[in-house]
Amino acid sequence: MATCIDCRQEMATAAACSVAVIPLRSGILIRRPWGSESSWRPREGERCPDCAVLPGGLHHLGCDVEECADCGHQLLACGCLDLFDEFELVDELLA
């Protein structure tokens, strides 16, 4: 199974990611937890279909479902954040 490169937890069993704030070039992004999306309405106890966190928990970074708290679009695609490559680079350096 996959391990989150940011919180280093097993994604299938972790309740939430522990990285609450993401640095942006223009400031910081306070992340939206699973269940606060405009296009998703999880049932009680339903894990995120992509990253498997529990409702109310932060998505693991890079989750398809997470919405950008800044612009409201899909965080992976909205362009506010282009740090994913850097996150992976850091992970490789630490490994």
By CB under 5 A, is residue 7 in contact with Zn ion?
yes
Cα 31 to Cα 61: distance, rounded to the nearest angstrom: 10
Task: Name the residue type at position 66.
Answer: E
By CB under 5 A, is residue 80 in contact with Zn ion?
yes
Residue closer to Zn ion (CB basis): 4 or 22:
4
Contacts of 47 (CB under 8 A, 6+ apart): 53, 54
Task: Give the x-and-dash track for 20-39 against Zn ion (CB under 5 A).
Answer: --------------------
**Residues interacting with Zn ion, by CB under 5 A?**
4, 6-7, 17, 48, 50-51, 59-60, 63, 65, 68, 70-71, 78, 80
